[in-house]
Amino acid sequence: MSKPAPLVAYRLKVGLRDISPMIWRRLLVRSDLTLFGLHRVIQIAFGWEDYHLHAFKVHGRRFGTQRTGERHHLVEDGKILRELTLADLSLRVRQRMMYEYDFGDFWEHEIRVEAREQPSADKPWPVCTDGARAGPPEDIGGPGGYERLLERLDELRFDQGNGLDDFLDENDTSDGEEDDGEEWTPADRAGFDGPDDPLLRYDPDSIDRRAINLALKAEFVGKDRPMSVD
């Protein structure tokens, strides 16, 4: 019986295609991470809510996930396969693969293997080490809808000389009080659903790596899946 390959850590750079400036994350993951585990890492790192289907494209093959109750099965061309780990994929430095999410909005994440490193003994869960910009909101309409959202936010900021945050605070109706609608004309014109629309609070330049890493630790530590703590 052959010995299992020693564990390594892959340094991955994951970036959303067709978005400029790029939204990206740098991730450290171990080679015993499954493809479904990598799916969860990317979901957390970009702030996705896992509402939609996904697939990986690697070595000319396309892998998706089929759910049966609480179980997730790796599928290829409709056939259920045994779960694959990153080690099974024999990833090389500078190799690229794709992660697709939401086949309606169609978000393509390009994954590039930047390096192979020694795995961390004190942090066997995935870690986000760097990145830029907030992940897009769900169901925004793909890259085109995302660009239109930024244009609408810019339009509203331009219309509000005292700043968008001050304007929102002054017109906040979340306490149940009705606003008279007259002062909200700029937001209506920009296409938002009133002053409580959560998209108005979206900050495209923000990234909270601490929150990402806390969520990754919560997802993987103590779970019955590869990369949990022994």
Which is higher by pLDDT, 157 or 221?
A: 221
Looking at residue 185, its amino acid is T
Give alpha helix (H) positions in 160-208. 164-170, 185-190
- State the Cα angle at 136 between 43 and 146, rounded to 5°: 145
Nearest residue to 36 (alpha-carbon basis) of 15, 54, 52: 54
- The tokens describing 27, both together, are 């991730």
Residue-level pLDDT at 185: 47
**Domains, the chain, ordered by start:** 9-137+206-220 (3.10.290.30), 142-201 (no CATH)
Predicted local distance difference test score (pLDDT) of residue 223: 57
Please report the pLDDT score of residue 133 as a whole number: 98
Q: Which residues contact 65 (CB under 8 A, 6 or more apart)?
A: 36, 39, 53, 54, 72, 73, 74, 75
Q: pLDDT tens, 30-54?
A: 999 999 999 999 999 999 999 999 9
Q: Work out the average pLDDT over 127-131.
A: 98
Give residue-wise pLDDT tens across range 140-184: 999 999 999 999 888 877 665 545 555 455 445 455 455 554 554
Categorize the per-residue pLDDT at 67 as very low, low, confident or very high, splitting at 50, 70 and 90.
confident
Q: What is the pLDDT of residues 51-62, one digit of tens each?
A: 999 999 999 999
Q: Evaluate whether 106 touches 142 at the Cβ level (below 8 Å).
A: yes
Report pLDDT digits (tens) over 77-118. 888 888 899 999 999 999 999 999 999 999 999 999 999 998
What pLDDT score was predicted for residue 114? 98
| Residue 110 CA: distances (Å) to CA of 5, 6, 100 | 26, 26, 9
The predicted pLDDT at position 183 comes to 54
pLDDT at 162: 47
- Which pLDDT does position 79 carry in this prediction? 86
CA-to-CA distance for 145 and 149, rounded, in angstroms? Answer: 6
Instruction: Locate the DSSP E strands across 21-122.
Output: 24-30, 54-58, 61-68, 71-76, 79-81, 96-101, 107-117
In terms of pLDDT, which residue wins out, 46 or 197? 46
Q: What is the pLDDT confidence band of residue 224, given thresholds at 50, 70 and 90? A: very low
